[in-house]
Every structure is written in C-alpha cells, then in structure tokens.
C-alpha cells in the first residue's frame, strides 16, 4: 500500500475578508490576498492593515496561512513606501509575500528581515535552474509560470529543494504569465501595475484588407461563429489530474480568482479539498467522482481545459465559435443560523429567489440537499413570496439540517 509523504496545500484566493473566511471555512490550507499597494489587482477588495490583522488572526486560529501578493513591476517611484509596507505586514503576522520585481525583494529583505518571500508567477519561472537561483537568493517558494508542463515540474522537483506552487484552477492569461501590454496599448491601463483591462477577453473582428481603406470581414456569417477572431483562453482545471499533481511533487495547488464571488471560492475550494484528501488518504483506491466534476461546472465561467500541463494548447483551448452548453447556477444566499428544533434556517439573501423555486444547499465536505421553497418569512416574521432586496434576512423551513456558512444556489 502506497503512502503519500507530502500532501500539497490547497491555496485559495481571498479578494475580501469575507472571501478569505469563506475559503478557510471550506477547507483552504492557505489564502492569498492583496494589500492596498504593490499588487496586480487594484480592483479587488484589497486589505488595509487592520483587515490583514483580522485575516491573520482568523486564519491562524483555523490552522491556515495568509500570503500577500506584492507582485507588481515597479517603475521609478512605485517602490516608495515599500519598506514600511513589508515591515508592517511582517509584524502583523503575514506568512509570506509574493514578489516578482527584484527591487521589491531587496527592499523586503533589507527592511523586513524574517518575512518569507515567494516568487510570483509574474516572474515566469519555467526551469529548475531558475528555481535554484531564487533559492540561493533566499526565497522559500516559487510560483511557476502557467506555461510549465507536468514533466517539467517533475524534473524541477528532482533537481531543486525550493517549494513549488502551481496554478491548478481558474483563468488563464493569453500572454506569458501576465507579461502583457495589450491593456496598456488599448486602454492606457498597465496590466503589470495592477490595471489590466482584460483586453484579451474582448471580441474582435478579423478583416482582409487587400487595398487601402478596403475591409472585408473574414468568417462573418459562417454558421456557429460568434466572432471570427478571439484571444480569450478557456479556463484551467486540473481536478481530474490530482494524482499527477501530487506525484509530481507540487507543494501548493493554487486556485485563481481574487475578484470572483464567494460562490466560486467556496465551491472550488470544497471540490479540490475533497479530491486532495481522498487521494492522499488512499492513493491505491482513489477514484475521481463525477459529482466533483459536476460541482465545479456549477461555477464555471468558461469552458475548462488542462492548459500547458500535458500539451501545447491548440485552437480548442481558445474561446471562439459556438459555445459548449455550460449549466449555470446563481448564488442566492448564505445560511446565517439554523434551529434544529423548528428546522428553520435564517438566510442572508444575495440574489432574488422565492416560493416555488428549486434551490440547493451545500456546505464544507460537499454536503448537499435540494428542495423547493414552499414558504418564507422576512426578519419580522411576516410571510413573503419573494426575497427581491439584496442582503435582506429571510427565514424558511428546510427539509435537511444545514449549518451556518452553508451556501444556497439555484439553477438559472
């Protein structure tokens, strides 16, 4: 009987304090967040120092870690104040900082000694020599470029001692791990300093221009072609290949999505937690369950593929032409309290739902239950047919016991 000696951590996005706590409730070993400066997600709900302190206290009390992304590419002047920033997050208790720019690394080492540094994926580490270089510079972990294959990861693990972190789920950048200037050119928003406009996700026309001023659309009108040209990549999903990831020696399995919802975060963490635990507990008898795959598709925003892990992506990993049908579910609420004697659940509503809707409850460990809403009441115990107002309190009787922090969704 085989025994797994190194169980990889499940690393989740924490775009806000609520998302961070949700990720940990649903099984994340670690969560990565952004501060108010030096990161690449200026539109995410980035953390101030007070929120960081609360995040660290909550995570550490649950046996989880918190990493801060400070992975921007600095231009002259962008590094101002970085010493105070790194020193403060070190003193708060942040477990590591993710950096790509050597200037910021030097500042972190000099001004905040003792703060562990992880190399960000923005640095595009793609070979073991690179990993060994960064290890000699004192880095504890390298987040690999998304363009690395499974075989390359195995070789890296054999020839280096630095920890390896790899993206396993979420959005893929069309450029080389984020080294993109499309956004700068098209919208004057610097992707490498936190302002990406997602230009690769836009729809484009493709034209044949044989003569000056002449434009002949290519592909227009062809059956099933929504747009004739696209740079948008499908999303990454390695759920079906957990054994390969564990056996390759990856130390951390990273889920992308700091700007995504608690519905996405809770579902993705829930599924990967279940799969990793199942394989590491009994690798000889491990079996991928279809219900795990189906669960991930409930929060899929795009089609899913394995990125660069097994082959060079082809046109099948690009989003253009007729879409595959993806079942979409809407997040409608979260359980705030449950009374087992009356079987009444108190719910914080997030999206419109009402009497007659078929809804699904789910919680950590992939607990599930479905039922039709037969009756509901507002916070004043007055009967209502629908819950149309965001964040309103709703009470309803449930057929199966639920728990605080359980989520509720319905099929659109």
The better pLDDT of the pair 70, 328 is held by 70
Q: Which CATH class is domain 9-172+233-317?
A: alpha beta
Question: CB neighbours of 60 closer than 8 A, spacing ≥ 6?
Answer: 93
Between β-strands 216-217 and 235-237, what pairing exists: parallel, antiparallel or unpaired? Answer: unpaired
> Any idea which architecture 329-411 has in CATH?
Beta Barrel (2.40)
DSSP 8-state assignment for residue 47: B
The better pLDDT of the pair 55, 173 is held by 55
pLDDT digits over 272-318, tens only? 999 999 999 999 999 999 999 999 999 988 889 999 999 998 888 88
Helix axes 82-92, 49-61, angle to 10 degrees: 30
Determine contact, residues 376/370, Cβ cutoff 8 Å. no
Residue 339 is inside which H or E element, if any?
strand 329-339
Q: What's the confidence (pLDDT) of residue 198? A: 76
Q: Which range among 224-233, 301-310, 335-344, 381-390 shows the weakest confidence by mean pLDDT?
A: 224-233
Q: Is the pLDDT of residue 211 over 80?
A: no
Q: Is the pLDDT of residue 86 over 80?
A: yes
Alpha helix positions (H), 62-205: 82-92, 102-111, 128-136, 150-159, 182-187
Q: What is the mean pLDDT of residues 168-197?
A: 76
Q: Report the alpha-carbon distance of residue 46 to residue 168 in Å, rounded.
A: 23
Q: What's the confidence (pLDDT) of residue 41? A: 57
Between β-strands 235-237 and 304-305, what pairing exists: parallel, antiparallel or unpaired? Answer: parallel
- HSE-CB for 334 with a 13 A CA cutoff: 15
Q: Which range among 66-75, 263-272, 316-325, 358-367 shows the weakest confidence by mean pLDDT?
A: 316-325
Q: Report the alpha-carbon distance of residue 265 to residue 270 in Å, rounded.
A: 8
Q: Which range among 58-67, 192-201, 255-264 shows the weakest confidence by mean pLDDT?
A: 192-201
Q: What is the mean pLDDT of residues 145-168?
A: 96
DSSP 8-state assignment for residue 204: B
DSSP output for 262-319: HHHHHHHHHHHHHHHHHHHH-GGG----HHHHHHHHTT-SS-EE-TTSSS---GGGB-
Query: At 91, is the pLDDT very low, low, confident or very high (cuts 50, 70, 90)?
Result: very high
Beta strands in 116-238 (DSSP E): 117-119, 141-143, 163-170, 207-208, 216-217, 235-237
pLDDT digits over 326-370, tens only? 768 999 999 999 999 999 999 999 999 999 999 999 999 999 999
Closest among 145, 312, 166 to 246, alpha carbons compared: 166
What separation in angstroms does the CA of 8 have from each of 165, 264, 268, 282, 330?
A: 9, 21, 16, 15, 31
Q: What's the confidence (pLDDT) of residue 203? A: 77
- Residue ranges of the domains in the chain? 9-172+233-317, 176-217, 329-411
Q: What's the confidence (pLDDT) of residue 223? A: 53
Q: Report the alpha-carbon distance of residue 232 to residue 303 in Å, rounded.
A: 11
Query: At 386, is the pLDDT very low, low, confident or very high (cuts 50, 70, 90)?
Result: very high
Between β-strands 235-237 and 207-208, what pairing exists: parallel, antiparallel or unpaired? Answer: unpaired
Q: Is the pLDDT of residue 76 over 60?
A: yes
Q: What is the mean pLDDT of residues 226-234?
A: 72
Question: CB neighbours of 297 closer than 8 A, spacing ≥ 6?
Answer: 304, 326, 327
Between β-strands 353-354 and 329-339, what pairing exists: parallel, antiparallel or unpaired? Answer: unpaired
pLDDT digits over 96-130, tens only? 999 999 999 999 999 999 999 999 998 999 999 99
Query: At 179, is the pLDDT very low, low, confident or very high (cuts 50, 70, 90)?
Result: confident
Closest among 272, 233, 274 to 254, alpha carbons compared: 272
Query: At 73, is the pLDDT very low, low, confident or very high (cuts 50, 70, 90)?
Result: confident
Task: Tell me the longest C-alpha to C-alpha distance in the chain.
Answer: 78
* Alpha-carbon torsion angle 77, 78, 80, 83, nearest 10: -140
Closest among 259, 256, 188 to 41, alpha carbons compared: 259
What is the radius of gyration, based on Cα positions, of the chain? 23
Q: What's the confidence (pLDDT) of residue 68? A: 97
Q: Is the pLDDT of residue 64 over 60?
A: yes
Closest among 380, 370, 378 to 400, alpha carbons compared: 370
Determine contact, residues 233/176, Cβ cutoff 8 Å. no
Q: Which range among 141-145, 227-231, 266-270 shows the weakest confidence by mean pLDDT?
A: 227-231
Q: Which range among 226-240, 262-276, 389-403 shows the weakest confidence by mean pLDDT?
A: 226-240
Q: Report the alpha-carbon distance of residue 360 to residue 368 in Å, rounded.
A: 7
Mean pLDDT for the chain overall: 90
Q: Report the alpha-carbon distance of residue 100 to residue 103 in Å, rounded.
A: 9
């Amino acid at each position: 009987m085989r025994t797994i000696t190194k169980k990889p951590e499940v690393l989740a996005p924490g775009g806000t304090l609520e998302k961070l706590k949700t990720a940990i409730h649903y099984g994340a070993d670690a969560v990565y967040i952004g501060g108010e400066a030096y990161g690449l997600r200026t539109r995410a709900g980035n953390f101030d120092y007070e929120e960081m302190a609360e995040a660290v206290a909550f995570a550490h009390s649950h046996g989880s870690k918190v990493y801060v992304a400070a992975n921007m590419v600095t231009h002259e002047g962008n590094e101002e104040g970085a010493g105070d920033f790194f020193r403060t997050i070190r003193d708060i208790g942040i477990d590591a900082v993710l950096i790509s720019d050597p200037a910021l690394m030097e500042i972190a080492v000099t001004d905040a000694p003792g703060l562990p540094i992880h190399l960000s994926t923005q640095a595009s580490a793609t070979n073991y020599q690179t990993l060994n270089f960064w290890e000699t510079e004192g880095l504890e972990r390298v987040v690999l470029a998304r363009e690395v294959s499974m075989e390359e990861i195995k070789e890296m693990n054999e020839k280096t001692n630095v920890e390896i972190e790899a993206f396993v789920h979420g959005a893929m950048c069309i450029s080389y791990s984020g080294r993109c200037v499309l956004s700068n050119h098209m919208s004057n928003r610097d992707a490498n300093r936190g302002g990406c406009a997602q230009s690769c996700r836009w729809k484009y026309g493709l034209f044949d221009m044989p003569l000056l001023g002449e434009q002949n659309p290519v592909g227009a009108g062809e059956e099933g072609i929504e747009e004739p040209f696209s740079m948008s990549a499908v999303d990454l999903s390695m759920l079906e290949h957990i054994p390969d990831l564990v056996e390759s020696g990856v130390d951390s399995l990273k889920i992308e999505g700091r700007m995504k919802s608690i519905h996405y975060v809770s579902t993705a963490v829930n599924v990967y937690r279940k799969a990793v635990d199942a394989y590491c507990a009994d690798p000889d008898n491990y079996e991928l369950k279809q219900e795990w795959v189906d669960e991930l598709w409930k929060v899929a925003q795009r089609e899913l593929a394995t990125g660069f892990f097994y082959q060079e992506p082809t046109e099948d990993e690009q989003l253009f032409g007729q879409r595959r049908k993806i079942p979409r579910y809407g997040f409608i609420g979260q359980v705030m309290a449950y009374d087992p004697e009356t079987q009444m659940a108190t719910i914080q509503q997030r999206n419109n739902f009402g009497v007659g809707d078929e809804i699904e409850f789910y919680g950590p460990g992939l607990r599930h239950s479905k039922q039709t809403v037969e009756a509901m009441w507002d916070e004043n115990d007055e009967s209502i047919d629908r819950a149309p107002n965001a964040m309103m309190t709703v009470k309803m009787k449930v057929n199966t016991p639920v728990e605080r922090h359980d989520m509720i969704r319905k099929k659109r």
